[in-house]
């Protein structure tokens, strides 16, 4: 007697079983894809789950994104206000520029919002030296003057992408790539930057390589840069 006799429960058609098998395979694929993409999703600041979380250092506050939250009932309008970006920065230094960063450290109201900004002042021929923001993409607008800007793509191509910007021009620096700005005008220059993190971080390449504490081995750097060790020692002495 066949397995699908009249006295036995009806068998499911082969097509139904095949469909279920395909569904199981697709679910497995989806789980694998989720496992791969989750780390990417958390590579940026977490999205807030509340209206705001003004940073507060009191011991009774709630920890969110590495900072504690002020009691919402105690939050005031001033918690969402920052003053001072109209003031020019002091560019009397070795690089001829000054960055006034407004991140969650200076502006508690930014906590959990995933944004920050900066005013950058440049003396004539001043530079914002090559650096990276490990946690943020940056978009820069020239307010006054003319700037040469650029960034270098990742290995192995290391392509140098650069542009001359005038007042009102906007340029974007991808997250984690080495970038710079240089004042190429005859007067002072000013730019405003916005960054996609409440705490974007900054690593200035020269300071990190030659001014680390403790110092990186001069033998190692000599091989890395393919120059005489004495040159490395002299460079380290500058930082």
Residues of each annotated binding site for oxalate: 128, 133, 138
Residues with Cβ < 8 Å from 102, sequence gap 6 or more? 82, 85, 110, 116, 117, 118, 119
Distances (CA, A) of 74 to 44, 67, 81: 29, 17, 15
Numbered residues of the known binding site: 128, 131, 133, 138, 179
| Residue pointed to by tokens 């091989």 | 223
For 51-65, the DSSP string reads: S---B---TTSEEET
User: Cα–Cα distance between 136 and 116 in angstroms, integer?
Assistant: 9
Extract the tokens encoding 106: 């200076």
Query: Under a CB-based contact definition with an 8 Å cutoff, are residues 138 and 78 in contact?
Result: no
Per DSSP bridges, beta strands 67-69 and 62-64 are antiparallel
Q: Which residues line the annotated binding site for Mn(2+)?
A: 131, 133, 138, 179
Show the tokens assigned to 146: 């003319």
């Amino acid at each position: 007697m066949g397995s699908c006799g009249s006295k036995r429960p009806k068998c499911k058609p082969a097509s139904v079983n095949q469909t279920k098998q395909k569904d199981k395979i697709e679910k497995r694929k989806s789980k694998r894809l989720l496992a791969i993409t989750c780390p990417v999703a958390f590579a940026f600041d977490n999205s807030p789950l509340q209206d705001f979380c003004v940073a507060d250092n009191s011991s009774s506050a709630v920890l969110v994104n590495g900072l504690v939250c002020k009691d919402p009932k105690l939050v005031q309008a001033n918690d969402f206000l920052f003053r001072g970006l109209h003031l020019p920065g002091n560019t009397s230094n070795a690089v001829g520029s000054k960055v006034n960063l407004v991140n969650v450290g200076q502006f508690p109201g930014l906590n959990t919002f995933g944004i920050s900004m900066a005013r950058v002042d440049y003396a004539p021929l001043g530079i914002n030296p090559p650096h990276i923001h490990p946690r943020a993409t940056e978009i820069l607008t020239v307010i006054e003057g003319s700037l040469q800007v650029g960034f270098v793509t990742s290995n192995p191509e290391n392509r140098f992408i650069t542009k001359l910007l005038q007042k009102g021009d906007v340029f974007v620096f991808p997250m984690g790539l080495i970038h710079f700005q240089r004042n190429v005008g005859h007067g002072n220059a000013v730019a405003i930057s916005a960054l996609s993190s409440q705490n974007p971080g900054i690593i200035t390449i020269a300071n990190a390589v030659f001014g680390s504490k403790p110092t990186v081995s001069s033998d190692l750097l000599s091989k890395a840069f393919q120059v005489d060790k004495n040159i490395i020692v002299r460079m380290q002495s500058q930082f």
